[in-house]
Each structure stands twice: as structure tokens, then as C-alpha cells.
Amino acid sequence: MLKKLYLFLKTFILTKDYKSRQKLNKHQANSLFKFLKNLNSDFYPKSLDLKDFNIIDKKIFMDNFSKINTLNIDEKTAFNIAIKAEDSRDFSSKLKIKKKNITIGLSSGTSQNRGVFLLSDEEIAIWSGYMLKKMLPKPYFKKRKIAFFLRANSNLYESTNKSFLEFRFFDLYKNIKEHITSLNAYKPDILIAPASVLSYLANANNLDIKPCKIISVAETLEPHIKDKLKARFNQTIHEIYQCTEGFLAHTCSFGHLHLNEDIVYFEKEWLDETRFVPIITDFKRQTQPIIRYRLNDILHIDNSPCECGSARIKISRIEGRCDEIIYLKDKFNKDFLLFPDFLRRAVLRTKEINEYCFVFNKQNYELFAYIDNLEYELELKNNLEFLFKDLNIISPKIVIKQYERFEFMNKRIRIKVI
Ligand SMILES: [Zn+2]
């Protein structure tokens, strides 16, 4: 107990923002050295040089689950505990192993693509110290009420429950209309929810709350939703970019996303001048070390300096997932990478479409667009044809159909290549 409190306070006090790139680089080199020196996993090589480690992805990571984690917990046991917690909606149980209390959680994602995270109590104390220092408005120790909308609660979030903070979990599995009544009564100072829930709340006429900070989590916050929220709540909308692999980025006081380079080392696989796929190494994860892990996300770098003065890399947005990229052909029969944003913009330009998804059939060079309002079929078709012409690429055959929800879809994925 005391150790956890010590780790929490130490992290809270020592966490700061780096204003000098040179100092940040030095901090990264030291953290990386310490992390690799203490590494104790059957899967990774024994080396202090990151280059000796292979780049891995989710599949490799999950296939080697029990060898990667330092307690040799097997994947099946971990999954079963996490699923039992989800089904019972009781998220408090921990796995006791080798004198450690381990919290197990599931990432969202389709069933074939789910990740499992393992965190010791000590890691959770460090995580909550970092998270609170970065996300709490000043003054830090003021009494505040936090409303948290999530699919699943976790010991991870409960760990942020400090005496000066009142924390209430709003279960996304329950009816959102009832939540509005409770929210109005609760009157949170800080509202944390996925972008789609924030968007729903912004449209609700009977919502009567005045939070001083709003944080979007778990889903990509699309620019038009961000603008709507900003107008409705009259404040900067903050964003947290976090997944089972780590706490990767959050917005500064000016509302810009910065990578958390003080706790995670980012290598970049460039897709073009501004887009890259991050390959991450987390300095803080001991139980389940994450080293040179290639994420499935497309990030946009913004090289302009930020008003906040942070030396950490600024991200203009998280565009989508790598497997949402469609490979089309240009006029010279060369590959053209059609990023998710292109299709998203074509949809946004077409009025009155709320739900959509795309399926691209590689073999037949056919693009199926599923939309909820077929009245705008022709308009969308024209917008797509215009887009392909504008990009100088060979247009796939476009087929517009009535919207339906597919197995592959989740809150972040709307494009599938088959
Ligand atoms: Zn900034």
C-alpha cells in the first residue's frame, strides 16, 4: 500500500513537460537504457541496443503472450478472467501470482482482434500518477467530480480515485438516456467519454452540465465532431490517445495532441511526408514489456512549434488504421495509397449521411459504399468520382448499397479491404 502511494506521488511530482528537445532525448536514452537493463522476459533478446530487437505486431505479440509477460501468464487464463469481468460487470478482481496483484483488461476491437493487457499494482500507481498530472486542470488537489463513460470499468481507472477526486463510472452498456438524468444530478467537473458519446450528449437538449474539462477517449475524434463539441460546450476539447499498448498521446492546454515521448519511445515508419505508422517501446511496462511494437494506426505529424512550448512531437490527427488503406492504381499503373481520410471527406461532403462504411474488393477493383440514406446515392457517387479524377487515379467501380453493420466494424474501423 505504502509502496503504491510512494510510486504514485513520485510519478506525480516528477512528471513534467520537456521544453528542450535535447533534454528530452537525454531522458529517453537514460530511460531506454534502464528499461532494457532490467528487462526480464523469455521472448526478447538480452541486449541494450534496440536494433537487436525485431519489430513485432499484434499477432506476434499475442502468439507469444506467455513468453513475453514476465509472469508467464498464458493467454487463455488472461482472456477468461477478463471476459468473466466483462460479463459480470464486476471489474475489481485481480490475479494473484508470485506475490503480485495483476489487473487484466481487454482492449476493444473485434473478437478476432482483441488485445489483453496485464498491469501490476505498481505499474497502475505509476500510470495514475502520470495520467492525473497530465490531465488534471490546475490547481491539482482541488475537489473535483469526474464522470467517466466507458465500455468497461477497470482497476486501472479506479486507481485514479483519490480522496480529492470523486469518480463515477457510466456504463456504456446501459441506456444513455438514463445517463443524462444521472449526469444532470451529478454535475461533473470533468467529463470523459468516447467521441460518439460526447457527440450524442452535445445534441441532447435536456443536458444540463457545465464541466470545466472535456476529454475524448477510445475513439478517433474527427475534426467536425470536435468543432461541434467546442461550439456546444464553449471550450477546448481534449483528447487521450491510449490503447492496451500504452498511454501514447494527449492534448496540451492549447488543444494539440503531443506524443508522450517521456514514457514511450516512438520510431516512425513513414507512409508519405506527413503520415507515419508508430513503432513503440514503452519504458514503464515491466509485467508485459512492449518493445518495437508496430501499431496499426496512421498518425499525421505537425512540424510547426506549439504555443505550449512542449518539445514533444505534435500530431495533427490520428487518421485511422493501416488496414483501412486501399491500394488503387494511378494512370501509370503504379500503386496509389488511398488513406481513410479521402473517403471520409467524400462522405462528409455529401449531406445527410450519418452512418457509412466501405468495402473494397481488390480482385474486382470494386468499391462498395454502404450508406444509411440512399436518397443521396447519386451525390456520393459524384463526389467519389470527382475525388478519383482529382487524384489522377483509375476509378474503381462504385456500387452504393443500403447501410448495414458488419462484423469487422467497430468504433474506429469503417473501411475493409477484401
Ligand atoms: Zn502543445
CA of 129 to the centre of ligand 1 (A): 20
Q: What is the pLDDT of residue 21?
A: 96
The pLDDT profile of the chain, 418 residues, written as one tens digit per residue, is 788 889 999 999 999 999 999 999 999 999 999 999 999 999 999 999 999 999 999 889 999 999 999 999 998 888 888 888 777 777 777 888 888 889 888 775 544 566 788 999 999 999 989 999 999 998 888 899 999 887 766 666 666 666 788 888 888 777 777 899 999 999 999 999 988 889 889 988 899 999 999 999 877 788 888 999 999 999 999 999 988 888 999 999 999 999 999 999 999 999 999 999 999 999 999 999 999 999 989 999 999 999 999 999 999 988 878 888 899 998 888 888 898 888 888 888 887 787 889 999 999 999 999 998 899 999 999 999 999 998 889 999 999 999 887 766 655 678 888 8
CA of 83 to the centre of ligand 1 (A): 38
Contacts of 366 (CB under 8 A, 6+ apart): 360, 396, 397, 398, 399
CA of 223 to the centre of ligand 1 (A): 17
CA of 205 to the centre of ligand 1 (A): 33
Q: What is the pLDDT of residue 39?
A: 95
CA of 142 to the centre of ligand 1 (A): 24
Inter-residue contact 282 to 263 (CB < 8 Å):
yes
Cα separation, 210 vs 191, whole angstroms = 9
Nearest to 59 by CA among 323, 319, 301, 257: 323
User: Does the structural domain 325-417 have CATH classification 3.30.300?
Assistant: yes
Beta-carbon neighbours within 5 Å of ion ligand 1: 252, 254, 256, 306, 308, 310
User: Which grid cell is 18?
Assistant: 520537456
CA of 22 to the centre of ligand 1 (A): 17
Inter-residue contact 82 to 92 (CB < 8 Å):
no
Q: What is the pLDDT of residue 68?
A: 96
Q: What is the pLDDT of residue 110?
A: 47
Contacts of 50 (CB under 8 A, 6+ apart): 32, 36, 265, 281, 291, 292
Q: What is the pLDDT of residue 108?
A: 57
CA of 252 to the centre of ligand 1 (A): 5
CA of 302 to the centre of ligand 1 (A): 11
Contacts of 100 (CB under 8 A, 6+ apart): 71, 120, 121, 287
Q: What is the pLDDT of residue 99?
A: 85
Cα separation, 180 vs 165, whole angstroms = 21
Phi and psi based region of residue 318 (left: phi greater than 0; alpha: psi -120 to 50; beta: remaining): beta
CA of 202 to the centre of ligand 1 (A): 25
The ranges assigned to domains in the chain are 325-417
Cα separation, 386 vs 351, whole angstroms = 16
CA of 361 to the centre of ligand 1 (A): 41
Give the H/E segment covering residue 247.
Answer: strand 246-251
CA of 248 to the centre of ligand 1 (A): 15
Q: What is the pLDDT of residue 93?
A: 75
CA of 316 to the centre of ligand 1 (A): 11
Note if the bond before 45 is cis, omega within 30 degrees.
no
- HEC-encoded secondary structure of 28-70: HHHHHHHHHHCCCCCCCCCCCCHHHCCCECHHHHHHCHHHHCC
